Amino acid sequence: MNLLKISCINQLPYLCPSKLVKMKYPCNLVTPTTCPDRSGDMKKISSVHLPKNRDRLWPFFIQMKKAGLIFLFLIFPFSFLSAQTSSVDIDKDKDQFVFGQIFADFKYNFNSEIKPVAAFRFNQGIIGYYHKISDKVSGKIMLDVTRTTNFNSITDTLGRPVSYNYFEGSKYTAYLKMAEIKWEVTDYFTFRFGQLLNTQYLTFQDKFWGFRYVDVTMQEKFRLGMPADFGAQVDLKLKDKLLYQFSVVNGEGPFRYQDGEGKFLFANNLQYYPIKGLTLKLYADYAPSPDTMLNSADKSVLSFFAGYQKPKYRLGAEYSRVNNYHFSEDKSVDAFSVFGSILLIEKLTLLFRWDHLNIDTSQKSEKIDYFIGGLQYEPVEKFTTSINYRYFSPDELGMVLVSFGLKF
């Protein structure tokens, strides 16, 4: 009997390497692929292919000229209004408050073969609630809205495609991103329980980068680790110099229960602050391979981060090594990212980033480069806009985006 094997796409607001999973559109236009559980094998998704870029990119100055016109058209009315409004903060009751985030953009790419050439996109919508019930105990719950699951291909055990039909539902589905109970036992010891954000990149690098509404950080974008998971965590803090965090989580990510095998992911995170403004970070995790996956191996991650920031500028760099990526034996990823920002004048900031990945298997090696460069304008505190140019090397694809971010 041939058993059905289903490969699916959990479409999230992240980007995965095009060369790992061949998709209908390049990664910067769609969200990445993952499988129903941590044993998913992304190599099985092969029913579609990337189009080749047969046109040369337009001269860079022409691209930026058109991008500038688009940006001015969209931004000018807001700039006029903001000139008459002073920057104000939104006060919140420190013991309980509702919070939210809305991230959206307008994208235009310079390859006519990529459809759509232009589009308005919704990237993230978060709503949450924080409540501090005592000096030591608090809770935070957060929902995110995104596209969750879309089946892309079904094959039998011989690899032959099988036709299927199903109703996908809404492409904007709310899911539980965070549900944390935090108990500050002492000034030096904290216990957390529930669905916790990932200490690999989300609790620190994301904030240090500071432009999530433009794009997520490198490790999140290329899916080098889950953004959140169900489990427990302890924090040990030594004054303002050292923070150590140890986590035990299911390893399945934020969308499903623990699998039947009951294997956990163990993570360690160490942050050191030698001087004011400088942060050094070391992260490592280990997850045993699923018993039900062929040619699988235990997965491990090791990453380093160093960042220095002042009121008018910041510069950060991180490196990550993933052994047996997605539990696939002999598949590894080496990746680094350099990023930063400079405050040019009041409310106007220059931002830049370069991501580089090497994806190695026993048969081949792939390289990916991803660049971001742009300007951010903040007319009112908690409302940011950006015009940014991006380049994705596997498809020689250049694009310009106008991004908007609102927090409340």
pLDDT at residue number 23: 37
Task: Report the pLDDT averaged over residues 128-133.
Answer: 96
- Chain length of the chain: 408
CATH of 4-407, one of 2.40.160.20, 2.40.160.10, 1.10.3720.10, 3.40.50.2300: 2.40.160.10
Task: Report the pLDDT averaged over residues 350-366.
Answer: 94
Confidence of residue 220 (pLDDT cuts 50, 70, 90): very high
For residues 211, 217, 223 and 225, what is the CA-based torsion angle, rounded to 10 degrees?
A: -110
pLDDT at residue number 151: 57
- The answer to whether the beta carbons of residues 379 and 78 sit under 8 Å apart is yes
pLDDT at residue number 314: 98
Distances (CA, A) of 105 to 79, 213, 214, 397: 17, 9, 8, 18
Give the separation between CA 248 and CA 288, rounded to whole angstroms: 13
Confidence of residue 145 (pLDDT cuts 50, 70, 90): confident
H or E segment to which residue 172 belongs: none
pLDDT at residue number 148: 65
76 Cβ partners below 8 Å, 6+ apart? none
What are 336-345's pLDDT values in tens digits?
999 999 999 9
What are 179-203's pLDDT values in tens digits?
999 999 999 999 999 999 999 999 9
pTM (2 d.p.): 0.75
Instruction: Show me where the domains of the chain are located.
Output: 4-407
